[in-house]
Structure 1
């Protein structure tokens, strides 16, 4: 069974990936080509990417991934922690996951869905104790 990979290119227009099982193409800081297929097929069509991520082994720092507009990976990193958490931490992580999902939808010009996801995130944040708000803002780096 083919595996899932994300190939990262500089911002480019991708016109033709015939014969490649593409899940999604996302653009922000990079052009991300999300596939369930062999990366070699994309490389043959577009050349060597900046880097390739095997989605079975997503690693990294949430903040770094978020700032690099790698929202899908940031979401996955948080989801592992969210599954193990409970209480306020679980709500906090869920809000961050929803923000990542909202950014993905926004970049795909799905504004209504993005807005709903952000509303859900803000609703979760509003349920958190007020003393966690500075932590929330500092942690995602809004003051940096």
Structure 2
């Protein structure tokens, strides 16, 4: 996952930016799968050999300077650390990584807790779709998120689940996905 500082792009430009990134790196053996655009960064889901990463970063500099690089692999993670990471990523508009962290938590849950965590994951996924200019898909995810959140307890660790439910309902009514923190 490559994060470039965002000084000018909005989610509606995600396709334009992915095409630009692919053009800038066309002479490299690299795969640029997806671009998600957040307020402070442009997130690129890329596959590149480790020894070619610096070259890729230089080629993509017209889009923005490096903010963060993270090698994302499915890993075994401590449940509590997964929750901490998931919250951090969500609150920093790194929704795909939030989804991944909470998925690690979800794998360690059972029963009602598993459904609640899945509801939180679906809200993160909704925002990840919005970052790709797929607002209608993101809004559609909210029904599933609310179904999974159900009538679960009002808090989960430090997460205000009641607030998430309220925000999801408001976003459905407004047909928009304004970002909030959990």
TM-score by length of 1: 0.79
CA displacement, residues 25-62 of structure 1 (integer Å, 9 cap, x when unaligned): 11113111110113234213024512210002777622
> How many pairs were matched up?
135
The answer to whether the Cα contact below 8 Å between 2:120 and 2:149 also exists between their aligned partners in 1 is no
Name the SS for the 2:107 alignment partner. Answer: helix
Name the SS for the 2:56 alignment partner. Answer: helix
Q: Unaligned regions of 5+ residues in structure 2, if any?
A: 10-16, 76-81, 164-180
Q: Unaligned regions of 5+ residues in structure 1, if any?
A: 1-5
1:56 maps to 2:80: no
Residue 24 of structure 1 corresponds to 34
Q: Take 2:160 and 2:37, find their aligned partners in 1: how far apart are those partners?
A: 21
Aligned-pair Cα RMSD in Å: 2.6
Q: Which moved more, 1:29-38 or 1:59-68?
A: 59-68
Name the SS for the 2:66 alignment partner. Answer: coil
1:117 maps to 2:128: no
1:42 maps to 2:56: yes
TM-score by length of 2: 0.64
TM-aligned CA deviation for residue 72 of structure 1: 0.6
